[in-house]
Amino acid sequence: MQTKINILFIGDVVGRYGRRAVKSHIDSIKSEFNIDFTIINAENAADGFGINKKVYNELEPCADAITLGNHTWDKSEILKDIEAMTKVIRPINYSDKSPGVGYRVFKINGIEIAVINAVGRIFMMPVDNPFYAVDDLLNSNKIRDVEIKIVDFHAEATSEKQAFGWYFDGKLSAIIGTHTHIQTSDERILPQGSAYITDVGMTGCHDGVLGFEKRQALERFLTYIPQRLNVCKENIQIEGCVMEIDTKSGKALSIKRVKKEIKD
Ligand SMILES: [Fe+2]
Ligand SMILES: [Fe+2]
């Protein structure tokens, strides 16, 4: 069995331009970093809001696991379709009564990898405590024998994300922040061996506001009148990170930011 595994994480894919960038460049990114396993956050993949079956089918060949976030339920058809989306993980700290699952275990080259999704609570919709929800999973039998555990912590406040990183240092292989769509430069290996970054950034148009038309976003801020937001298409970039994990201990060996400007 290989002694280490390279994992690629792609930050929030926004709309068709984000999807197009992923589809046309994922293979070259995977070969550049010798990637074994790929996680894509797709909570904004359908028109910027949620995911549906069509979009899932488009992204599914590019990813081994697909995580979501606060936009999970934006497309109503997801409620009936999520169970059939076998790579999708929605926040674990949503109600037990909601469809879908909060973690999945995948097997690549004989190596098991648990992928967990959780959402934060600061400046966000009220949900169960993400610290306890992930703790409960780790304390259960469900993934006890899985060495590699990656969480996508989808949260707004940098404080909550940092605290989450410290709390789970040594208990998870990596704590990868998403949701703010702005890549932070604080990637590091925490003292007990977990890879950490506050936010990996987003994939899509970078000449807008979080991937959406800047004029529409500005109107909202200037008038406080709700505006429909469309995804923008200028300055397309793919953002994410690459991690190297020791397969025996589950500890992270390295984490590197990825940022690709797409010219074509
Ligand atoms: Fe997002
Ligand atoms: Fe989000």
The rounded distance, in Å, linking the Cα atoms of 213 and 26 is 25
Which contacts qualify for 205-209: CB closer than 8 Å, 24 or more apart?
A: 205/14, 205/15, 205/17, 205/18, 205/231, 205/232, 205/233, 205/234, 205/235, 205/236, 206/234, 206/235, 206/236, 206/237, 207/232, 207/234, 207/235, 208/232, 208/234
Residues 132-172: tens digit of each pLDDT: 999 999 999 999 999 999 999 999 999 999 999 999 999 99
All domains of the chain in start order, with CATH: 4-206+235-261 (3.60.21.10)
**Which ligand has the shortest distance to the CA of 72?**
2
Ligand 2 centroid distance, CA of 91 (Å): 11
| Rounded mean pLDDT, 104-120 | 97
- Select which of 25, 71, 154, 179 is catalytic: 71
* Residue 72 dihedral angles phi and psi, to the nearest 5°: -50, -45
Confidence at residue 2, expressed as pLDDT on a 0 to 100 scale? 93
Ligand 2 centroid distance, CA of 120 (Å): 10
Residues 28-46: tens digit of each pLDDT: 999 999 999 999 999 999 9
pTM greater than 0.95? yes
Residues 57-106: tens digit of each pLDDT: 999 999 999 999 999 999 999 999 999 999 999 999 999 999 999 999 99
Q: How confident is the model at residue 127 (pLDDT cuts 50, 70, 90)?
A: very high
Confidence at residue 90, expressed as pLDDT on a 0 to 100 scale? 98
How would DSSP label each residue in 34-84?
A: T-SEEEEE-TTTTTTS---HHHHHHHGGG-SEEE--TTTTSSTTHHHHGGG
**Which ligand has the shortest distance to the CA of 71?**
2
For residue 1, pLDDT over 90 is answered with: no
Ligand 1 centroid distance, CA of 158 (Å): 15
Instruction: Report which secondary-structure segment, H or E, holds 116.
Output: strand 111-119
For residue 178, pLDDT over 80 is answered with: yes
Ligand 2 centroid distance, CA of 42 (Å): 10
Nearest to 43 by CA among 215, 252, 218, 211: 211
Q: In the predicted model, what is the mean pLDDT of the chain?
A: 97
Surrounding residues of ion ligand 1, Cβ less than 5 A: 12, 43-44
Residues 190-231: tens digit of each pLDDT: 999 999 999 999 999 999 999 999 999 999 999 999 888 999
Q: Is 206 annotated in the active site?
A: no
**Dihedral sign from CA coordinates of 58, 63, 64, 70:** negative
Confidence at residue 54, expressed as pLDDT on a 0 to 100 scale? 98
199 in Cβ contact with 259 (< 8 Å):
no
Ligand 1 centroid distance, CA of 17 (Å): 14
Residues 179-191: tens digit of each pLDDT: 999 999 999 999 9
Confidence at residue 226, expressed as pLDDT on a 0 to 100 scale? 87
For residue 264, pLDDT over 80 is answered with: no
**Which ligand has the shortest distance to the CA of 41?**
1
For residue 131, pLDDT over 80 is answered with: yes
End-to-end, the C-alpha distance of the chain in Å comes to 39
